[in-house]
């Protein structure tokens, strides 16, 4: 693990300058400076519920109205948010490397809004809804005004947020793409994630079994910190533009 501060930034820039393939994994901390609440950090979410209590199929089966209320409230917070300088820096980095893949756990769509294209939304996207009977029927609800009734598919079945809940598998194609990119990369940036949600939290060790150098960018310590080669302590909205400018 590296000393913090400018030395860490210098070493991260040096590693990136030599890299052909770079992967970035992002979590809720990436959007904190856009005003989107994180899950487990201070400030927290609207209710004292844990995501594990609301973001599950069982919670939806038990009380779909409560789960939709939570997601509609989150959509309201996200609709007011704009990509911050960290999102923009990652979109610019995409054009600087022969291979750059952005893997996000975030469902807020802010990486897309910032212009990132080689992007894998591993936990889905809050602006989409899908049919509970025909999962391939997906609807973009960005800009929709929620009605009084719970949203339903033309087939009559309830719609649900098109995100991955706890206890649900990630899309195997997306996960394979993520694992392949991580295995092949020279530098893995792990940004704004508490690194406790699996299987995404297992990706950094996959990178280290390859030849990758792991750089953690976070305001706090996480279970990954002791495993990272370089630890840059600070807000991603400030650190990422600094890294991008120095490349």
- CA 26, distance to chain mean position in Å, is 4
CB nearer to ligand BV8: give 29 or 83.
29
Q: How far apart are CA 179 and CA 30, in angstroms?
A: 21
Active site (annotated) includes residue 123: yes
Residues within window 177-216 making contact with ligand BV8, judged by CB under 6 A: 192-194, 196-199
Who contacts 227 (Cβ-Cβ below 8 Å, separation ≥6)? 204, 205, 208, 214
221 CA to centre of own chain: 18
Q: Judged by CB under 6 A, does residue 43 bind ligand BV8?
A: no
Stretch that binds ligand BV8, among 47-55, 112-120, 131-139, 181-189 (CB under 6 A): 47-55
Binding flag, residue 165, ligand BV8 (CB under 6 A)? yes
Residue 163 burial (10 A CB sphere; 0-12, 13-18, 19+): middle
Q: Is 169 in the site for ligand BV8 (CB under 6 A)?
A: yes
Is 219 a binder of ligand BV8 (CB under 6 A)?
yes
Strand order in the sheet with 138-140: 138-140, 124-131, 159-163
Q: How far apart are CA 182 and CA 162, in angstroms?
A: 25
Task: Give dist(CA 97, CA 223) in Å, integer.
Answer: 28
**φ and ψ at 91, to 5 degrees?**
-65, -35
Q: How far is the CB of 43 from ligand BV8 (least distance, A)?
A: 9
> Where does this chain touch ligand BV8 (CB under 6 A) — which range of 7-15, 149-157, 179-187, 233-241?
233-241
**Is there binding between residue 135 and ligand BV8 (CB under 6 A)?**
no
Does 123 help bind ligand BV8 (rule: CB under 6 A)?
yes
109 is a site residue for ligand BV8 (CB under 6 A): no
Binding residues for ligand BV8 (CB under 6 A)? 27-29, 32-33, 38-41, 51-52, 55, 105-107, 123, 163-169, 192-194, 196-199, 218-220, 222, 235-237
**Catalytic (active-site) positions:** 123
């Amino acid at each position: 693990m590296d000393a913090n501060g400018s030395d860490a930034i210098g070493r991260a820039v040096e590693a990136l300058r030599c890299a052909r393939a770079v992967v970035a994994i992002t979590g809720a901390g990436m959007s904190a400076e856009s005003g989107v609440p994180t899950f487990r950090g201070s400030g927290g979410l609207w209710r004292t519920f844990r995501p594990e209590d609301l973001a599950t199929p069982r919670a939806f089966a038990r009380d779909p109205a409560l789960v939709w209320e939570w997601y509609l409230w989150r959509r309201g917070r996200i609709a007011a948010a704009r990509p911050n300088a960290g999102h923009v820096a990652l979109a610019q980095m995409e054009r600087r490397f022969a291979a750059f893949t952005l893997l996000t756990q975030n469902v807020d769509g802010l990486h897309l809004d910032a212009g990132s294209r080689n992007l894998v939304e591993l936990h889905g996207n809050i602006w989409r809804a899908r049919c509970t009977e025909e999962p391939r029927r997906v609807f973009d609800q960005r800009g929709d005004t929620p009605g009084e009734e719970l949203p339903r598919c033309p087939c009559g079945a309830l719609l649900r947020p098109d995100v991955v809940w706890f206890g649900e598998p990630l899309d195997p194609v997306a996960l394979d793409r993520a694992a392949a990119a991580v295995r092949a990369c020279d530098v893995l940036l792990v940004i704004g994630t508490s690194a406790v949600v699996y299987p995404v939290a297992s990706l950094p060790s996959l990178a280290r079994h390859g030849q990758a150098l792991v750089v953690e960018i976070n305001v706090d310590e996480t279970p990954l910190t002791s495993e990272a080669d370089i630890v840059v302590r600070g807000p991603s909205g400030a650190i990422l533009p600094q890294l991008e400018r120095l490349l």
